[in-house]
Amino acid sequence: MKVGIIDYGGGNLRSVANALLALGQTPKIIASPDEVGDTTHLLLPGQGEFGDCMDRLEKRKLAPFLKDWILADQPYFGICVGYQILFDSSEEAPEVVGLGIVPGIVRRFVDEPGLKIPHMGWNSALATKGDTPVWKGLGPEPYFYYIHSYFPQPSSAEYVVAETLYGTQKFAAAVEHGNLFACQCHPEKSQETGLRLIRNFLGI
C-alpha cells in the first residue's frame, strides 16, 4: 500500500500527513497526475471554498484524473471540501461544476435563532447503515470535529452512511460506495475516532 495526499494548492496537508504518520504510513504529496505513480490510496483534505478548490484542481489537471480514479473504484478519501467537490454543484459557487460523482448539491446552512455559522466544534454522526467497511467499529453515534458553512445534500440516500444534526438541519455527514469514502468532518482533528476512520479506509 502506498498512500498519497492530493495537493491542489490549498487544504490542510500537514495535519492529514501527521495523522497518517501516526498510523505508520509515509504519505506522498501529489500535485499533478504525473506524480501519482504506484500510489494505491488517495486522500484529498479540503479547506476553503468549493469554486476555488475546483479551479485549482482543473489547473493542475487533477479534476479529470480524480473523476476517472474514483469511477474506476480506486480508493479515495475526501475530507470537507474534498467531500463537497464529489457533488454536482454548490450554492457557494453556483457557476462551478463539481465532479458529479454523487448526485446532489452542496447547500449553505439556513440561519436559525442562536445557531452559529460556520458549524464549528464537536458533533455526533449517526450511522445510518451500521458497520460499513470504513465505519466499522466506530459505534452508532461517534463524535467528530467539524468546521463548515456548507453541507452536501445528496439526491438520494444511496451513498449516505452517516448523518449529523445541526440546529434543526440534518445533513449527510459521510458517504461510502465501494472504495470511495468521504466525510464533512475533519478526521485528522478528531483524535482516536478520526484515526480509526482513516485506519479503516486504509485497511490496516
Q: What is the domain partition of the chain in residue ranges?
A: 3-202
pLDDT at 12: 77
pTM of structure? 0.96
Dihedral-angle region of residue 203 (phi above 0 means left; psi in -120 to 50 means alpha; beta otherwise): left
CB 90 within 8 A of CB 98: yes
- The mean pLDDT value of the chain amounts to 96
Query: Is 185 an annotated catalytic residue?
Result: no
Distance CA 70, CA 103 (A): 14
Q: Side chain identity at 93, as an amino acid letter?
A: A
Alpha-carbon distances of 96 from 53, 80, 88, 131, rounded to whole Å: 10, 17, 9, 34
Percent of residues, the chain, with pLDDT higher than 70:
100
Over residues 118-167, the pLDDT tens digits come to 999 999 999 999 999 999 999 999 999 999 999 999 999 999 999 999 99
Over residues 34-58, the pLDDT tens digits come to 999 999 999 999 888 999 999 999 9
Q: What is the mean pLDDT of residues 169-189?
A: 97
Q: Among residues 80, 92, 176, 183, which one is catalytic?
A: 80
Q: Among residues 49, 92, 176, 188, which one is catalytic?
A: 188
pLDDT at 101: 97
pLDDT exceeds cutoff 90 at 81:
yes
Query: Is 95 an annotated catalytic residue?
Result: no
pLDDT at 47: 82
Over residues 70-79, the pLDDT tens digits come to 999 999 999 9
Burial group, residue 26, by CB count within 10 angstroms (0-12, 13-18, 19+): exposed
pLDDT at 37: 96
Give the residue with greater pLDDT, 13 vs 46. Answer: 13
CB 132 within 8 A of CB 180: no
Query: Is 188 an annotated catalytic residue?
Result: yes
The 10 Å Cβ neighbour count of residue 27 is: 21
- CATH superfamily ID and name for 3-202: Class I glutamine amidotransferase (GATase) domain (3.40.50.880)
The 8-class DSSP code of residue 189 comes to: G
